[in-house]
Amino acid sequence: MEQNSSKQPNIDTVRAVNSFTDEELHQIIEMEHELFPVGLQDFSYEKEIPKGNVAVVAYCPEGKVAGYVFAVPHHEAHAQFRSVDPLMPEAMDAHYIQSIAIRRDLQGRGYFGKLMKKFLEETNGRAITMHARVSNNCSVGMQKHGATHVHSVENWFDSGEKFDYLIIEKLSE
């Protein structure tokens, strides 16, 4: 019997990381180029993950980065984003998702759920906050999995893009 080459790959590994190899950083930056408009790309990733931050990476069976989620303590995000979102709460015992992505060719294959499950384990039950892009359905997807919509920012960093501020207490399957 001939095997279908479009068969869904097995998710090989999802793990929290403290540092990245040069190749992993290269793959993450390539993902940023592919998935985000120029004004929304973040190339500030470093090889070492700063203390207090959380980084979780999903790998496909061939060992390449399939997706990632990066978060910082909420108070750090508040200091960075309060000028663009004055409604963002200041004091929260939470982590703020700064970036989340799944390679386009692997979307819809279970990576998001596995990635977020590991991420929630790593945040030790703390609430999660984020500004989720509306145009790519990130906000809708997060809300389908249990995130609560708090408010919207109509023009995130003058990008012309609407982002929703979400709080995630517990993600549903």
Can you give the CATH number for the domain in which 61 is found?
3.40.630.30
Tell whether 2 is covered by a domain: no
Tell whether 6 is covered by a domain: no
**How far is Cα 55 from Cα 65, in angstroms, rounded to an integer?**
13
pLDDT of residue 59: 94
Tell whether 115 is covered by a domain: yes
Cβ proximity of 109 and 14 under 8 Å: no
- Percentages helix, strand, coil for the chain, rounded to the nearest 5? 30, 30, 45
pLDDT of residue 41: 63
**Total of domains in the chain:** 1
Residues of the chain with pLDDT under 50: 1-9
pLDDT of residue 5: 36
pLDDT of residue 172: 62
Tell whether 108 is covered by a domain: yes
Tell whether 112 is covered by a domain: yes
pLDDT of residue 7: 41
**Which residues, 6 or more positions from 6, have their beta carbon under 8 angstroms from its beta carbon?**
none
